[in-house]
């Protein structure tokens, strides 16, 4: 029974919050690169909520447990290195969240949940740095790879 509770906590809280934090990394990267408009979309399906804060639009869709995307616009096109920075910030934020939970687990509370958050975010960082493409979806690593290869 306790395993089912852990699974529900993972599905309903850990995964969505970790994905949101990953996407916030892209948002921070876009802000640092002076994007004029940033759209953060969490989930698929019908829109549940939408809000705009300064030049960042956030959209949360019905099935928020899967799929997230950050898109950016700037009047002056982004340079290759700026695109790489924006793309890299998602996995960096996943790694940062993993490090925070690793420290919390080892220094404060050695609970199973903290360890799962740590492991999931390490996985999220690594899987997003691997270059792969499935259909129209591509990893951050694939985006970075294409930017580097296209340059050469």
What count of other Cβ atoms lies within 10 Å of the Cβ of residue 125? Answer: 23
pLDDT in tens, the chain (152 residues): 788 998 899 988 999 899 999 999 999 999 999 999 999 999 899 999 999 999 999 999 988 777 889 999 999 999 999 999 999 999 999 999 999 999 999 999 889 899 999 999 999 999 999 999 999 889 999 999 999 998 66
Q: What residue has token string 């990394």?
A: 25
CA distance 147 to 27: 19
Q: 39 in helix, strand or coil?
A: strand
> What is the predicted pLDDT for the residue at 97?
98
> What is the predicted pLDDT for the residue at 47?
94
> Which positions ≥6 away from 63 have C-beta within 8 Å?
43, 44, 45
50: left (phi over 0), alpha (psi -120 to 50) or beta: beta
**Cβ atoms of 141 and 148 closer than 8 Å:** no
> What is the predicted pLDDT for the residue at 65?
76
pTM: 0.92
> What is the predicted pLDDT for the residue at 20?
92
**Cβ atoms of 73 and 36 closer than 8 Å:** yes
> What is the predicted pLDDT for the residue at 152?
60
CA distance 51 to 49: 7
For residue 70, give Cα distances in angstroms to 24, 58, 89. 8, 9, 11
> What is the predicted pLDDT for the residue at 64?
78
């Amino acid at each position: 029974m306790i395993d089912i509770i852990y699974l529900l906590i993972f599905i309903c809280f850990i995964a969505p919050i970790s994905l949101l934090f990953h996407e916030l990394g892209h948002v921070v990267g876009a802000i640092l690169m002076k994007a004029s408009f940033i759209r953060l979309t969490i989930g698929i399906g019908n829109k549940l909520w939408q809000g705009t804060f300064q030049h960042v639009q956030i959209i949360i869709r019905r099935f928020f447990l899967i799929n997230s995307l950050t898109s950016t616009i700037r009047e002056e096109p982004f340079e290759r290195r700026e695109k790489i920075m924006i793309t890299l910030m998602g996995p960096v934020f996943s790694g940062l969240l993993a490090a925070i939970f690793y420290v919390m687990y080892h220094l404060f509370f050695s609970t199973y949940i903290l360890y799962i958050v740590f492991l999931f975010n390490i996985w999220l960082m690594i899987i997003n740095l691997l270059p792969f493409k499935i259909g129209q979806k591509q990893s951050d690593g694939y985006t970075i790879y294409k930017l580097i290869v296209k340059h050469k």
